[in-house]
Amino acid sequence: MTEQYGLSAMGIICALGSNKQQVWNTWLAGNNQSMQARADLVPETTVMVGAVNDCLPACDSRWPHLHSRNIQLLEAAILQIEDDLQLILRQHSPSRIAIVLGTSTSGVADGERALANQIDGEFDAEFNYAQQEMGTPAVYLQKKLGLSGPAYCISTACSSSAKVFASARNLLACGLADAVILGGVDSLCKLTLNGFKALESVAKEHAKPFGLSRDGINIGEGAAVFIMQKAPAMINLLGVGESADAYHMSAPQPEGTGAEAAILAALNDAKLCPAQIDYINLHGTATQLNDQMEAQAVKRVFSSDTYSSSTKHQTGHTLGAAGAIENALCWLLLHPNYNVDMQLPGMAVNYSIDNTLAEINLAVENAIKLSAESLQTTLSHSFAFGGSNAVVCLGRGKVNE
């Protein structure tokens, strides 16, 4: 029998909400009211961002040198799976529980504030460089839970927390861990916004994925975490595909050959044919080049009946956390405890779709009614700078959560 890798627990926080039910309800409502205008991130410019506005939990007081907003977002997601964490802590030795997280900014925003204070002549005694190190989320979580197994972060820009699914599965398959806490976390910072602004990739208002007048991305923040074990669960990891374009530092390969390679690798890994995929969460950044190449790749692989959508106009592009958050949305979509009525949230776009793009089945109407049989599997696309691509396939199991 093929080994099954179950995702038995999930916690999420992003612009859509601060827990699973809120996120599902807001996504299903199909609007982008969760996005907000901010004038404090890019000089003399107002940008739309997917910020988390709810009060965040405090960081553990034992390690103040690791505290940051990024860690608070991680805490908010981890608290949602507290009971499941306690269960695996009782079942397994601390050395047999691993942590793999994706991030791209870590605590950079705290470093920005410290630098601003330093320029103003006020030394920030509370700032520690460890707050913005890429590996800090994994280090913090390992300390908090008292674990001693493998613990590290992956930072490959926008594919960071999609790649954690492959890494977590490998740790289990190789016998290096009995359970893995995996996911991604990223927080808003000026460095990212100004960098994308310099690339002329930031939307003037709301992002318009696959829109005729699309003009760039909205940045977001958030976290999503899972527990993976080598046992079936209600939602299981079926496959992961990765590829590397190495085409350009920031632009995708125009025909989407690298994206297609990752998609086909994920399908092969899952032992599924394209017709067996029920929904695709597209990378869908709303930049000219990404949407153009992604539509081509999807068109070549899938039939015109396969539903797809981008959720970045509702969450913002959460960068290193995007893979985890968008797979968390797929987890909610597949889970009968949340998607009780078997509905597919649509993009509910209020703009014209670009008909010059390769034709794909965008779910633009909201709350499309499906049957349980027609909603069994999902793909989530993550395509990063430098051509670092990852595609994750999830599927519904037959075990009660």
The token pair at 369 is: 């009614």
Handedness of CA 319, 28, 56, 6 (dihedral sign): negative
381 flagged as catalytic: no
The 10 Å CB-count burial string (b at 16+, else e) for 48-76 is: bbbbbeeebeebeeebeebbbbbbbbbbb
The distance of Cα 16 from the centroid of its chain, to the nearest Å, equals 13
Class of residue 41 by CB neighbours under 10 A (exposed 0-12, middle 13-18, buried 19+): buried
How far is residue 351's CA from residue 76's CA, in Å, rounded to a whole number?
A: 34
153 flagged as catalytic: no
Residue 252 DSSP class: P
Catalytic residue among 59, 67, 313, 317: 317
DSSP string, 170-222: HHHHTTS-SEEEEEEEE---HHHHHHHHHTT-B-SSS--TTBTT---B-EE-E
Catalytic residue among 59, 67, 189, 283: 283
Catalytic residue among 14, 59, 153, 158: 158
How far is residue 127's CA from residue 12's CA, in Å, rounded to a whole number?
A: 27
273 flagged as catalytic: no
DSSP string, 69-81: HHHHHHHHHHGGG
**Percent of the chain as helix, strand, coil, to the nearest 5:** 35, 25, 40
The token pair at 356 is: 């010059």
The 10 Å CB-count burial string (b at 16+, else e) for 196-211 is: bbeeebbbeebbbbbb
Residue 17 DSSP class: B
DSSP string, 120-153: TT---TT--GGGG-TTHHHHHHHHHHT--S-EEE
How far is residue 35's CA from residue 363's CA, in Å, rounded to a whole number?
A: 20
Q: CA geometry: angle at 287 spanning 161 and 291, to 5°?
A: 80
Catalytic residues: 158, 283, 317
